[in-house]
Amino acid sequence: MAFAKRIVLFLLVNILVLATISIVMAVFNVQPYLTQNGIHYTNLMIFCLIWGFTGAFISLALSRMMAKWMMGVKLIAPDTQEENTRWLVNTVHSLARRAGLSTMPQVGWYESPEVNAFATGPSKNRSLVAVSTGILNRMDRNQLEGVLAHEITHISNGDMVTLTLIQGVVNAFVMFFARIIAFAIAQNVREDMRYMVRFAVTIVLDILLGILGSMVVAYFSRIREYRADAGGARLAGREKMVGALQSLMSTTQLIDTQHASMASMKISGGGGFWALLATHPPLEDRIQRLKSGMAL
C-alpha cells in the first residue's frame, strides 16, 4: 500500500542528509581526495563509499521518528480496550507472529482522508505500522487485513534495510560523479573563485544526481512491492489481498477523475518519466499477478 510513502520520506531525508554532509565537509575543508595534481580517484571513491552509506543509514535510523513527526501518527496502546483499535492491534500482532517476527511492531493511526497505510522503521525489531482514518472508513476488515499483511511482509522481508544498502551504493556514485564534474567546472574559472564554484556545483549536483539516483531505488522498490503482495496473500489469503488492491484502485481512479493534476503523485505511478520514479507498479498489474499466482 503506502510503502511508497515511507520510501518517499526515506529518499527525501537521504538527499537532505547527503547535501548536509557535503556542506559540512566543505566548510571544514575535509577533502582528502584533492592533491596538488588534482583528484586522487581511489581516495575519492573510498570517501564517497564511507559518506554515501553513512547518509543512507542515518536516513534509515530516522525513518520511524520522521514518519511519526511528519504525518502526526498517534500510537495505539497494546492493551487498548476500544473495539476498533483493539482489532487493529490484534490483527497486526497476529500477522507479525505469522510472519515470524519476534518483536511486535508499534501500531498507530493518523488523520487523513487518503486511503493509505504504511510500515517503517530501521529494523524488524523497531518497526511501526500506521493506517489513515481514510482507509479505516473506506475498507472493510477483510480488505484492511490484506493491507496490513502487505505492510507486515515489508517488515519481515527487511525491505527498508535492503533499499538502504542500495541507496548507499547510489549515494557513493552520486557523490563520486558530483565531485568530478564540479572539479572540472571549477578549473575553468579564476583561481580565487574555484573553491566557491566547486562548493556550489557540488551541492547542486548532489541534489540533482540524487534525484536521478532515486530512479534506481524506485526500480528495486517496485520489485519488492510484488514480493510484499505475494507475502500478504500468504499471510492473509489471496482473496483479501486482491480485495485490498481492488479497493485501493477504485479509490485511486476516483482521485484521478476529480484531481487529474495529482495523477503523477499516485503510488502506482504515472507514464513516461514519472514511471521511472514510481515506487509501486501499476495496480492492475499487481492484481493480475496475484490472480494468476505469479510471485517473485
Question: Which one is catalytic: 151, 191, 225, 239?
Answer: 151
Q: How many CB atoms lie within 10 A of CB 50?
A: 13
Active site residue 151: yes
Cell of 212: 536521478
Closest by CA to 148, choosing from 71, 210, 88, is 88
Count other Cβ atoms within 10 Å, centred on residue 223: 12
Give the rounded distance of the alpha carbon of 141 from its chain centre: 26
Q: What element of type H or E holds 128?
A: strand 126-132
Here the cell at position 197 is 564554484
Using CB atoms within 10 A of its CB, is residue 190 exposed (0-12), middle (13-18) or buried (19+)?
Answer: exposed
Residues 6 or more apart whose CB falls under 8 angstroms from that of 121 comprise 63, 64, 105, 127, 128, 155, 160
Q: Enumerate the H helices of 99-193 as residue ranges.
A: 133-138, 141-156, 159-186
Which residue matches cell numbers 536516513? Answer: 59
Residues noted as catalytic: 151
